[in-house]
Amino acid sequence: MQGCLLKRVDHTPYTQTDYYRATLQELGQQPPVTGESDSLQVGWAKVNITPPAGSPLAGYGKRRGLRYSAVHDSVWVRTFAFDNGHTEVFFVSLDMLIAPMTVTAELEKAYPELGLKPGQVYLSATHTHTSFGGWGQKLIGWVMAGRYSEQIVKQTAAHIVRSIQLARQNKQAARLGYGEAYISRLVRNRLTGSLAGRDTTVRFFKVEQASGKTAVLATFAAHPTILPSMDPVLSRDYPGEFVDQLEKTVDFAAFSAGAVGSQAVVALHGDSYQSTAAVGQQLAAAIKRKLPAVEMQSKVRLGYSRHRLFLPEPQWRLTDNYRLAPSLFHWLFGKYPTYMNSMQLGEVVLLGVPADYSGELLPELEQQGQPVMVTSFNGGYVGYITPDRYYKLDENETRAMNFYGPQSGSYFTEIMKRIRRSYLLKGSKTTKL
């Protein structure tokens, strides 16, 4: 019986595996699409995605499908459209726990009518743990996000499509700039407690339309888990306050979770809306101080890619040395295709990961020189990706939420470095209009 249910953990070096070779082949066959011109158009839009009261919340298994009875602040999809005449890309941010796989599949049915390929739409989420669920089909999906609702999935996808259409319609000649701010007091490493192992950077784009309207797209790497887990109230957590505060200064703002793996937000006033307000306000203030100095460009390189990411057998451990059989894992979690998404905005490469990617892994990506912006939850989910050296820690992130084994950190990071390098190599050959 044990032979059917359990297997030993596989420690084969990933560089010697078929899945690694298959991913490298995929990367080699599909270089990023890039283009540069002397003009840039940008549009933006938001659409309310709040489902009716009585829908389940997503984010904590102990809720067991708890349904919300009140809305503290509505949840939205916020979308940017970028177009330089050669390349058109869309950045989508959802006020949800993740960009769910079921919603991704529904969107892919709609892209052809929009004249888009899936790679042109970069999905992300704020990762609030107090938004709606109802999008998980398998047992673990029901535990984390409540009973599945086809209506919620279809309506959410329809709202995203509408946001893409509106952002496209609202495009104007624009300039784009990139900036960074730093706010270490709001982040702690919840895995190790290390002060060094934190990503404390607020990364952001500033957009100026020819009409004078301005917008900000920002990421920050700290889990939005401030609010009480058993409170039946829908909320965006601190990212909601963050964009609301920014929109007192700019015309539009969007937030996406960065490399939030291992990183917790420091709740300044406990698990309360006072804390979400304080964190959001401080993050917004950090960006506002930097906005006037951001260097703006109208000649902007745009690019995108979407690569299939091949994975090893699931290695969801029950003990240090034994894992659940892959067939049982897929029965509990489902089996979905996995991708790495990327987008180039100017000199910055954005990397979309189907996971809680650890902020401790960012320094290795940043060694390549040009700015990089990592976002988690790109329309797939494969658990937590943490540094390999922590694999034996008996912690939630390295045991219960590590789905694919002892070398996930190294494997994901190498593939992300290769994707980023492909943009650097393509840059010198980019078509200019």
Residue 37 and residue 81: Cα distance in Å, rounded? 16
| pLDDT for the residue 428 | 47
Distance from C-alpha of 81 to C-alpha of 62, rounded to nearest angstrom: 38
Q: In Å, what is the CA distance from 233 to each residue of 265, 268, 277, 284?
A: 20, 20, 16, 24
pLDDT band at 395 (very low <50, low <70, confident <90, very high): very high
Residue 427's pLDDT band (boundaries 50, 70, 90)?
low
pLDDT of res. 370: 80
CA gap 152, 135 in Å, rounded: 7
Token pair in block for residue 304: 């995108």
Q: Which helix (H) or strand (E) holds 90?
A: strand 88-94
Domain hosting 326: range is 1-433
CA 138 vs CA 68, 160, 167, 329: distances in Å: 21, 23, 33, 10
pLDDT the model gives residue 318: 87
Amino acid (1-letter code) at residue 203:
R
> Taking a C-beta distance cutoff of 8 angstroms, is the pair 180, 204 a contact?
yes
With a cut of 60, say whether residue 432 has pLDDT above it. Answer: no
Instruction: Tell me the mean pLDDT in the region 357-386.
Output: 92
Task: Find how far residue 141's CA is from the centre of its chain.
Answer: 18
For the whole model, what pTM was predicted? 0.96
The mean per-residue pLDDT over the stretch 331-345 comes to: 95
Query: Is the pLDDT assigned to residue 4 strictly greater than 80?
Result: no
CA distance 206 to 44: 12
> Tell me, what's the pLDDT at 195?
87
CA distance 375 to 219: 7
Structural domain count of the chain:
1
Confidence band for 368, pLDDT divided at 50, 70 and 90: low
Q: Which residues are annotated as a binding site for Zn(2+)?
A: 127
Task: Classify residue 230 by burial, with Cβ atoms within 10 Å: 0-12, 13-18, 19+.
Answer: exposed
Q: What are phi and psi of 26, to 5 degrees?
A: -60, -45
Cα dihedral sign for 109, 110, 114, 119? negative
User: pLDDT exceeding 90 applies to what percent of the chain?
Assistant: 91
Residue 188's pLDDT is what? 95
pLDDT at site 2:
45
Q: What is the mean pLDDT of residues 93-114?
A: 98
Averaged pLDDT of the chain: 94
* Residue 372, pLDDT score: 95
- 97: amino acid identity, one letter: L
Q: Is 65 left (phi over 0), alpha (psi -120 to 50) or beta?
A: left
Residue list for the binding site: 127
183-192, 211-220, 306-315, 364-373: segment of lowest average pLDDT = 364-373
